[in-house]
Structure 1
Amino acid sequence: MAESRHSVFRQFAASDWNGFLKGVEKEGLRVDRNGFIAQTPHPEALGSALTHPSITTDYSESLLELITPVCSSTSEMLESLRNTHRFVQQNLGDEVFWPASMPCELDGDASIPIAEYGSSNIGRLKHVYRQGLAVRYGRMMQSIAGAHYNLSLPDSFWDIWQSALGDQQSMKDFKSDQYFWLIRNFRRRSWLLMLLFGASPALDASFVAGVRHDLGRFDGRSWFGKHATSLRMGDLGYHNNAQSSLNICFNKLSTYTQTLDRAIHTNWPAYETIGTQRNGEFIQINTSVLQIENEYYSAVRPKRTAQSGEKPIQALDARGVEYVEVRCLDLDPFSPVGVNEAQVDFLDLFLLDCLLSESPRIDDAECSMLDDNYKDVVARGRDRELTLCRDGGRTPIGEAATALLDGLEPLAEILDGWNGGDVYRQALSAQRGILSGDSQVPSARVIDAMQASGMGHRDWGMDMGLRHQNTLRQEGMEASVHAAFTAASKDSLAEQRRIEASDTLGFSDFLEQYLRS
């Protein structure tokens, strides 16, 4: 029961608690000075997108992804992310790092260059996978950016937690079960994150050119959702019809990997019609519902660091869950690095409480209800009349959100007592301020800022991007940090050349071998 797990946790000594392990992956488009998606290749000064440990690309050649190492504190993680941003900003020339989740000005699919990773087999595989996304869903959806937050708990916690619960499983199975326990509760509560952190209520008209939608006109170049919190996570953002049939099960590791594996090995008629090659060039990895596991869009994922040549499912099955990845976070356009300290500390508190609270298995009826709650908050979260399914009835969204925040207060007090500060109570207080009206939810703040500036989505995004660029360039970097980034870029380019020189198979044979594995 919820009380028993919370009670067990309260019996920990301060010395038993070693905090969280965390990291972030932050995406963002490169744009030109006119607010149009950059058509230039990935800057050589940023190294190889294939092998650089902290600077790569996501779907598009123009879509940067900045990755922190695993950190033991919020301040360490944010400083690492800020240093990476400083280095990137110093090497963008006249281009700007777009600060918002919904993209800058586009001109259809052809304006969005697919990422290139060199001539090696693994580099070509990454490119072909992205070609597959293009032919399946179009490129527009892939120009959206977000932040992925990764969280785990140290081995010392799991040793004490397993002993305290009296669990006799292997540590691998115990940790996997506990992470899925957390994930089930995350799915029940993730709508709250869309209310508190959704920050993409508006978009440039070019994103929906020729597309039917129900958005309101903001100005001649922009549309917005009257009550939307996150267009990125709505019907205009990450979605596809083929995946709606998957029914990926998040109840436990075995069902999760089995249902994902089935999707990777189940042909989809529309993709079979497309085929895997066009004019002798590969355009998708296979014709299955999913080409690979990463194609599945979800707000949260169980993760395990894969070894060389190992697929994500194989890593999970072999060694269990290592951490959880929260994938539903919009970029904070008001932050030079896309995330903020209070947000990260609140996520830690939120996720830990998901682990400590009662978490029964989710049946089909509850799964459908949770999806509806999530979609409703994404589309209408700022509508005070919105009600959510909760405890067998309908509850006003403000009341439901307040109840969840109230439930986090005791845990915040425990963690602050152990740490000797008020970090978690302050993070919780910041979110309470949003619900009470003392401050605004980010989606409302974006709309108000656009209105106050007299600018539409593209021009306001450019203005914010230039402000962040000036801030980060003026801050500069310590010489040793800059030298380390410069060396990492050079080393990554050399590593890419080494990989390309070591290939012995043709790409067709490599792909066949990859699919067989």
Structure 2
Amino acid sequence: MNSLQQTLSHLTRHPAGKSLTVLSRGIEREALRVDKHGLLAMDEHPKALGSALTHSSITTDYSEALLEFITPVTQSVNELIERLGDIHKFTVSKLDEQYLWPLSMPCQVKDVDKIPLAYYGESHAGKMKTLYRQGLTHRYGAPMQVISGVHFNFSISDDLWQALHDMQGSDLTLEQFRSKGYFDMIRNYRRWVWVLPYLFGASPALCASFLGDKGSDIEFSRIGTGTLYLPHATSLRMSDLGYTNKEQYELGISYNSLEHYLETVSRAIRKPSKEFAKIGVKVDGEYRQLNDNVLQIENELYAPVRPKRVAKGSETPSQALARAGVEYIEVRALDVNPFTPLGISKEQVRLLDLFLLTALLTPSDAIDASEEQEIQANLQKVISHGRDPQLTLARDGQAIGLSQYLAQLFDKFAEVGEWLDSHNDRQPYQDALARWRPCVSDPAQTLSGQLLSQLQQADAPQSHWAMALSKQYNQRFEAYRYRRYTEQEFTEASKQSIEQQLLKEQQDHGSFDEFLKDYFKKALG
């Protein structure tokens, strides 16, 4: 198997080598709506934003208050960020004295029992989406579900897959080779995933109200009376306090091949849970959850990366993958960046490009049980203690300092960055590396380090600091001018989405019970 340097050298000589620069990306950014006091918005999804069920750019996740902005796929970083900016601009213009919360960990919630579930109308599909969220409430509690994140979708061109296929002289079909290549990338991603919370984690602190009455065994430090933090934490969002599911630790999802992945996911979605069975599925004529398995549906698999393919019709994610293989990957290990109004910056996107391309082009063996434990341990260490200068991780069974490990990875990123910049008029990738490289030796330069420093200097609750940012960003959006869309286009899209939702409701036949039975019959085979 060729090394990273050998592959880059081959691509330099290959006629289609320049296709390495053709990268397709999409962003999904979540943001809570809050009122002028920084409390969770309790009203319905604004009608001016259209239907959350059918709108292609503006929807909701768990709660009516948890907005999700979705960009189209684009090959230009500038266009990607500008389209995300336009979506923010339109949304903020339709909020009545409300703001977008700039952090991953939620704002103050006075009564968690009153967190409004996302409502998608009265169609069978809409009811199922809301019921799925009802199940999440019973399983994990509502506070965990109003944590925000950023998802980054990434793929390379068919021309590059063909070039890599030619160079390796593979006997696989191009579709099989592409899926194998994406799973090779995913395994290296999982080996190095700790890099993302280290650099981009931005949730070292949380509002004390998040824990409610349950408290925590963790010995937090305090800022004032309202903010809890861990001195060296990077991403409490990804910790056991955040968006995780302890029952899933034992599922044994394999990323060694598409076949292994589909087999282990299939087994997981059929696995019953004694704990969730106690909740009940339909009690006194009212549904509480879709089923009592460990996963109600595949979307409940909380993983920091997912292989994906756009589904057709009523296909499940696995059925889409089984039909035509992996189309792109979804990076799910990103906190909301509070230092930019959009929750993610161009420099982050560029570094993600380098991270993922290095993962793709570096040889990637199968992961055995021992390495799986190593991967999980490294990630948990960085989440809770990543900015400890003395922190050591494990690599191939040997201890290595985090800074040394990261420096070696940055050297690999630099090789890919120099290659990409050799096909650019400017040096965007080397500029991105220059932005993030100081973090290698100075944890204070990371997003979590900067955030904690500002909170300590302000000596005020995190909620006050965040609310000041929210108001500042609203002012910037008011002055922002559309770059890729127009307000009229958004207004028309909102109107059409409402019409599409109504049409879905009119076209439904049979009972909701029958719909669910048919869905799971098709989903589970």
TM-score, normalised relative to structure 1: 0.97
1:67-117 Cα deviation digits (max 9, x unpaired):
000001111100000000000110111011001000000134313211110
Q: Aligned residue for 2:334?
A: 329
**Structure-2 change in CA distance of 1:165 and 1:125 (3 Å):** same
1:343-367 Cα deviation digits (max 9, x unpaired):
1001001100101001000000000
Q: 1:110 aligns with which of 83, 89, 113?
A: 113
Q: Aligned residue for 2:10?
A: 8
Q: Aligned residue for 2:127?
A: 124
Deviation at 1:438, TM superposition (A): 9.8
Spell out the pairing of 1:179-258 with structure 2 (5 A cutoff).
179-210=182-213, 211-212=215-216, 213-258=218-263
- Secondary structure (helix, strand or coil) at the match of 1:443 reads helix
Percent of residue pairs bearing the same amino acid type = 41
Q: Aligned residue for 2:520?
A: 515
Q: Aligned residue for 1:320?
A: 325
CA distance in 2, matches of 1:487, 1:16: 36
The alignment status of 1:34 with 2:43, answered yes or no, reads: no
Q: Aligned residue for 1:372?
A: 377
**Structure-2 change in CA distance of 1:334 and 1:515 (3 Å):** same
Q: AA paired with 2:467?
A: M
Deviation at 1:18, TM superposition (A): 4.6
Spell out the pairing of 1:63-462 with structure 2 (5 A cutoff).
63-210=66-213, 211-212=215-216, 213-437=218-442, 440-462=445-467
- Secondary structure (helix, strand or coil) at the match of 2:313 reads coil
**Structure-2 change in CA distance of 1:429 and 1:261 (3 Å):** same
CA distance in 2, matches of 1:480, 1:326: 26
Greater CA drift, 356-365 or 202-211 = 202-211
Q: AA paired with 1:498?
A: L
Q: AA paired with 2:419?
A: I
1:289-330 Cα deviation digits (max 9, x unpaired):
111111010110000111111111100111110000000000
Whether contact under 8 Å (1:22, 1:152) holds in the other structure is yes
Whether contact under 8 Å (2:19, 2:157) holds in the other structure is no
Whether contact under 8 Å (1:68, 1:77) holds in the other structure is yes
Whether contact under 8 Å (2:43, 2:65) holds in the other structure is yes
Whether contact under 8 Å (2:151, 2:331) holds in the other structure is yes
Whether contact under 8 Å (1:18, 1:157) holds in the other structure is no
- Secondary structure (helix, strand or coil) at the match of 2:403 reads helix
Q: AA paired with 2:13?
A: Q
Question: Where does structure 2 lack aligned partners over 5 or more consecutive residues?
Answer: none
- Secondary structure (helix, strand or coil) at the match of 2:255 reads coil
CA distance in 1, matches of 2:484, 2:212: 46
Q: AA paired with 1:197?
A: F
CA distance in 2, matches of 1:16, 1:143: 39
Q: AA paired with 2:70?
A: I
Deviation at 1:392, TM superposition (A): 3.1
Greater CA drift, 99-108 or 428-437 = 428-437
CA distance in 2, matches of 1:137, 1:108: 16
Deviation at 1:429, TM superposition (A): 1.4
Q: Aligned residue for 1:466?
A: 471
**Structure-2 change in CA distance of 1:365 and 1:492 (3 Å):** same
Q: AA paired with 1:8?
A: H
Deviation at 1:173, TM superposition (A): 1.1
Question: Where does structure 1 lack aligned partners over 5 or more consecutive residues?
Answer: none
Deviation at 1:418, TM superposition (A): 1.6
Q: AA paired with 2:14?
A: F
- Secondary structure (helix, strand or coil) at the match of 1:418 reads coil
- Secondary structure (helix, strand or coil) at the match of 1:274 reads coil
Whether contact under 8 Å (2:79, 2:484) holds in the other structure is no
Q: AA paired with 1:270?
A: E
- Secondary structure (helix, strand or coil) at the match of 2:191 reads helix
Whether contact under 8 Å (1:28, 1:97) holds in the other structure is yes
CA distance in 2, matches of 1:480, 1:376: 43
Q: Aligned residue for 1:475?
A: 480
CA distance in 2, matches of 1:363, 1:17: 30
Q: Aligned residue for 2:498?
A: 493
CA distance in 1, matches of 2:396, 2:268: 33
Q: AA paired with 1:422?
A: Q
The alignment status of 1:50 with 2:17, answered yes or no, reads: no
Aligned pair count reads 517
TM-score, normalised relative to structure 2: 0.96
- Secondary structure (helix, strand or coil) at the match of 1:251 reads coil
